[in-house]
Structure 1
Amino acid sequence: MSWVVSTQTAISFSIYRYTSRFSTLRRLPNPNLSLNALPWHPRSRPLTFRTAALLQDAGAAAVVTAGAYGLGLTFDNLTQRKVIEQSLSRKLVHILSGLLFMVSWSIFSTSTEARYFASLVPVVNCLRELLRGPLYYVLILLVCTMVFWRESPIGVISLSMMCGGDGIADIIGRRFGSLKLPYNQQKSWAGSISMFVFGFLISIGMLHYFSALGYFQLDWIWTMEKVALISLVATVVESLPATKVVDDNISVPLASMVMAFLSFGF
């Protein structure tokens, strides 16, 4: 009979130790301290993620801004040394800065605030461009970043058409554009053809880049058909004799946005 009492006593003592330990774990170190404030509580972990994301986005914005400034400074030096013409230099800066800025979207975090940090880059450039050149170009960069970002093909295609298609069309048209369009003597067949070809190729390349990173998935046969149609519409819009009324940096991306929206949705 004594061994039964001993066994019951041992079991009771074990239960007491277990329940005491469990109650100690549940007891807060400070009655005024919220459970959510404890570092091991799951609700406190997003604060650490947000801090890391903010630091990543701030650093990415600083690096991209410095890179954009360095790119412009490099071509300014080449122009001063008369290595390339000023008009060609500025056009190359606009092509490269826009496309490289879009590529840099991947180094920002996955937080909802990432697009706003990325938008600081064209905002800073906007302050520089107020005195130097095409403000509309910078504003389109800002709109595509804030509104569409990297999760939508619309912004990617619009910037590809403006930076790649329209930018390269201007360079090719000035160099080899002796044969003019019948309805616009300011535009050439060489420029319009290059607008369509490079707009299409750069758009497909950028879409593949963001798709490979997992931001969206596309049916590539269907996508190539839609991008070809968007490139055709953007090329026609760019060739119209309306430059004095609407700048190409507005008409081309806006036309691309509308067509991409109709094709891909928001």
Structure 2
Amino acid sequence: MAAAGAGPMLLPDSPLSGDVCALVISTCIALSLLRIFEETAKRGIFDQKLNRKLVHITIGLVFMLCWPLFSSGNQGAIIAALVPGINIVKVLLIGLGIVKDEATVKSMSRFGDHRTKWSGFSQYVELLTGPLYYASTITLCGTFYWRTSPIGIAAVCNLCAGDGFADIIGRRFGKKKLPYNTDKSFAGSLAMATSGFIASVGYMYYYSMFGFIEKSFGIVIGFLMVSIASALVESHPISTQFDDNLTVPLTSVLIGTLIFL
């Protein structure tokens, strides 16, 4: 399914230097986006939950747009993974209370309070669950699947676009609840499957422009099946118990592996 093309690099004659430049550019873009949403959260421009979901949708998808800047192969993948890796460190430091950053807490957490009880421990940090799972998913997908696998594309797109729009649409139009989970709605689940699928197909076409992957109708059908499965798992009560930032990408990777390999 993957094309053999090496893909564009910023400095073709010096792959390492080009990857370092791509790292700097990608990191600046990611941190700038985070900073924007930290400011919108601090100023109350968006509702707290909407602001968090806008972060959820945009950060991973925008970072994927930067992947063609890096070289092909393990070097480009590992260096690119440093971008979300930096965010993992940031989340850990803030979540453990080592670094104080209330703007980040408000932009990423559900309730704007980064200390919350969880699983019987005295106090856990909310940033060490959902946001950490989110950043880890993007890091691992970039490292192991990179730009040539539909599995990685499906996992990130269903996590970012799918799960993000499920919450936004579900809160606004989700009056009719699911019979097996009254916390979820038909509108939210439909929005998740649709947006995750559309984003996956969009990135398939995007990466095919650079020769990283060969677009095909078979892959499109595979994306649809993965998105439907991810939406079903996200709507199940188990995703509330374990966090859908964990269950959605795991489902995408599992079903994607069965379909695409």
| TM-score bracket for the superposition, by shorter chain length | 0.7 to 0.9
Q: How far, CA to CA, are the matches of 2:72 and 2:140 in structure 1?
A: 19
Residue 244 of structure 1: how far off its partner (Å): 4.2
1:164-204, Cα deviation, whole Å (9 max, x unpaired): 11111111112222221111011111100101111111111
Q: How far, CA to CA, are the matches of 2:256 and 2:231 in structure 1?
A: 14
Aligned length: 216
Contact 2:154–2:227 (CA under 8 A) maintained in structure 1: no
Match of 1:184 in 2: 181
Contact 1:75–1:93 (CA under 8 A) maintained in structure 2: yes
Contact 1:53–1:111 (CA under 8 A) maintained in structure 2: no
1:134-185, Cα deviation, whole Å (9 max, x unpaired): 1100110111011110011110111011101111111111222222111101
- Give the letter for the 2:171 counterpart: R
- Give the letter for the 2:91 counterpart: E
Q: How far, CA to CA, are the matches of 1:52 and 1:158 in structure 2?
A: 31
Match of 2:74 in 1: 112
Map 1:21-32 to 2 at 5 A.
none
Alignment partner of 2:222 out of 219, 226, 247: 226
Contact 1:168–1:195 (CA under 8 A) maintained in structure 2: yes
Cα 1:259–1:151, aligned 2, differ >3 Å: closer, same or farther? same
- Tell which structure's C-alpha radius of gyration is larger: 1
Match of 2:232 in 1: 236
Match of 1:262 in 2: 258
Q: How far, CA to CA, are the matches of 1:103 and 1:82 in structure 2?
A: 28
Map 1:202-217 to 2 at 5 A.
202-217=199-214
Contact 1:94–1:163 (CA under 8 A) maintained in structure 2: yes
- The CA RMSD over aligned residues, in Å, is 1.6
Alignment partner of 2:27 out of 58, 62, 65: 65
Q: How far, CA to CA, are the matches of 1:244 and 1:173 in structure 2?
A: 15
Contact 2:150–2:219 (CA under 8 A) maintained in structure 1: no
Q: Which runs of 5+ in 1 are unaligned?
A: 1-48
- Runs of 4+ in structure 1 off by over 4 angstroms are none
Corresponding residue SS for 2:241: coil
Match of 1:199 in 2: 196
Percent identical = 39
